[in-house]
Amino acid sequence: MESAFDHGNRAIGADGSPLGSGKPEDLSFLCSVINSSKLQKVGIGNNKFGGVFPKCMGSLSTTLTRFSASINEIIGEIPEEIGNFSNLEVLHLGANSLSGAIPSNLRNLQNLAVLILNQNNLGGTIPSFLGNLTKLLELYLEGNNFHGQIPSHLSNCRSLDQLDLSENNLSGAIPPQLIGLSSLAIILNLSCNHLSGVLPIEVGNLTALTAFDISNNLLVGEIPSSLGDCIALTSLRMGGNFFHGSIPQSFRWLGGIEDLDLSQNNLSGQIPAFLAIFHSLKLLNLSHNKFEGMLPREGVFKNATGTSIIGNNELCGGLPEFRLPTCISKSFESGKIHMVILSTFVISGVLGLALILAFIYLCWLKKKVTEQVSSSMDDSRRNVSYGTLLKATDNFSPMNLVGVGSFGSIYKGILEENQIAIAVKVLHLAHHGALKSFIAECDALKNIKHRNLLKILTVCSSSDYQGSDFKALVYEFMDNGSLERWLHPNASSSHGNELPKRLNFVQRISIAIDVASALDYLHHQCHTPIVHCDLKPSNILLDVEMVAHVGDFGLAKFLVGSSLDSVANQMSSMGLRGTIGYAPPEYAMGCEVSREGDVYSYGILLLEMFTGLSPTDDTFRDNLTLHSYVANALPKQVLEITDNILREERESHLGPYTPPHWLSKSDGIFQECLLMVYNIGVACSYEVPGRRMSISGVTNKLHQIREKLFALGLHG
């Protein structure tokens, strides 16, 4: 075993080596290293070690951070002496023949992040003290003989993102506190137990969860509609229970689902048509229920091998491979045809009337500008004079020009009255749409207030010294400029001597959280929801503390009378909104703006922030997009597609020394966080609006990523 020591006796590594004979004394070699005061890691997994853990284990160094002996032939009980390793972060004893209960001394492992005891013969109840291990990220106890109820104390593990208690003898109800633990982001598996009662509505809190399995239990009642809030799910298995009622309509939000199993329940009603438009859905099992009506013929229902509907005797139609009876035609079909024809005439008339009204509106618009601007700004934002802005910007000197947009130029200035630094956006009124942009921005900003929105200080709506119309918006000046200048300094900077700008991992996550928080406020917390319509790096400004502020509301739109449902299917006469590369594809087809459109732009922005590639980069040709580029690379090429600055940060954090035979935990978490970011970006930028992630779910998941990075010692 000496050859398996690293320099300084910090680690013992024998993972995967053909060591051990299955004899009782196999693990006695551990006693030879009890004097290694610097020992940090022991890895002897995937071997043939037999026997029991020796008593001398209690004398191993207290500096031990990782102990792995999985996939061996070890018997006996887990030694209580393991509780002496107060610095232990990973304990992996899975796939052995260990028996007895989980020792009470494990409560002392307050730094434990990963506990894997799966596929053993452990018994007794799951101890409630596991809930006191508040740093726990992963808990795997599946494939044992645990009985009794699931302890509600596990909900105290606020960082827990992976929990597997399947294949045990657990009974009783699912604790609402646990099923509502929003940190669970990767897997929650409670299958193959004897759990009873209803599925708590708190399940809707699992908005970041990707895999949920409660199959083969004794659960009853209807499927709670709140399950539709778990929009990050890719696998949902609920088969082998006693659920009744219909499939909730809220499931329409689970557009990223790949594997859905509702088999062997008492579900009834018609199969929802929205399942046929879930492009990610590859496996669908609805067998042995009481579904009725017509079987869809599109999407997953075109795949007879990936879809199972046997045991539903009231179904009809579908592809011939399903061997279902032909559906009886309904008498109202002819009536529907007449309604379609009538609707066509009505829509044509409405569109004609809309064109007339639009012409009248354009004639009236310019006359009302001054009145509208006045009503848009409260007393604290009175008009400032042209002369004041002229003096503040040194006659709009090119030296003070900090940016040029579609409808205006932005200058840095200093107000003489109070020496406040300001950014002045001077509208190019000769440009088509500039006047409308000015009004839209005033309207959007007059009643909103959020720490991540660019604050407007005042406006100027008057004439210049030549008598021409002059309109400008005055904002707080953001010391660190736009996100565009940080992501692409060479392309966006007009200052040749400017030092390269570098954003680390935590800074990028924090900026992403700031932008998501701003969107969540605009979409869901304003009295009238607002869609920004032009989210991109140049419209995100960073203050002196690197807090992000979303600006430029020149294309913003109010969703007047909107509900929580998307308005993306309503037709718009306003043409394309947004910027090429960031505007969602449905806008190009004439669809009305929507919250989902902003989410698409956000997804592209997030992918750009971590790959360092603009969506209009020359890399993206022949139908290759930033979305598909990232989606095709995941999960194996997560580092290859990442910005070089972040890869350098990873190498710097790992340091020059990595022990042999060990996969660095830090590197694993670093890459896991990157993968989570890319999955969010991809989930936000799907072509189909209904499949996109909710912005509130995005914010929640990004907070979890930042907490993981903080735990690694990474900071902004």
Phi–psi pair at 269, nearest 5 degrees = 85, -170
- In whole angstroms, what separates CA 324 from the centre of its chain? 40
Q: Distance between CA atoms of 204 and 182, rounded to whole angstroms?
A: 9
For residue 454, the one-letter residue type is L
For residue 374, the one-letter residue type is S
Report the first-to-last Cα separation within the chain, whole angstroms: 42
Tell me the pairing of strands 169-172 and 242-245: unpaired
Q: Quote helix, strand, coil % in the chain, to nearest 5.
A: 35, 20, 45
Q: How long, in residues, is the chain?
A: 716
Inter-residue contact 474 to 411 (CB < 8 Å): no
Q: Distance between CA atoms of 106 and 102, rounded to whole angstroms?
A: 8
Q: Distance between CA atoms of 445 and 455, rounded to whole angstroms?
A: 8
Burial code (b: 16+ CB inside 10 Å, e: under 16) for 255-270 equals: bbbbbbbbbbbebeee
Q: Distance between CA atoms of 575 and 370, rounded to whole angstroms?
A: 25
Phi–psi pair at 219, nearest 5 degrees = -75, 145
Q: Distance between CA atoms of 494 and 482, rounded to whole angstroms?
A: 13
Q: Distance between CA atoms of 691 and 683, rounded to whole angstroms?
A: 7
Tell me the pairing of strands 66-68 and 41-43: parallel
Catalytic site positions: 534
- In whole angstroms, what separates CA 7 from the centre of its chain? 41
Among residues 274, 209, 272, the alpha carbon closest in space to that of 245 is found at: 272
Inter-residue contact 235 to 250 (CB < 8 Å): no
User: What would the DSSP string read from start to end of 58-89?
Assistant: GGS-TT--EEE--SSEEEEEPPGGGGG-TT--
Among residues 253, 138, 135, 239, the alpha carbon closest in space to that of 184 is found at: 138
Side-chain half-sphere CA neighbours of 291 within 13 A? 26
Inter-residue contact 169 to 121 (CB < 8 Å): no
Q: Distance between CA atoms of 323 and 58, rounded to whole angstroms?
A: 65
Rg of the chain over Cα atoms, rounded to whole angstroms, equals 30
Close Cβ partners of 367 (under 8 Å, ≥ 6 residues apart):
none
The dihedral formed by the CA atoms of 478, 479, 484 and 490, expressed in degrees to the nearest 10: 150
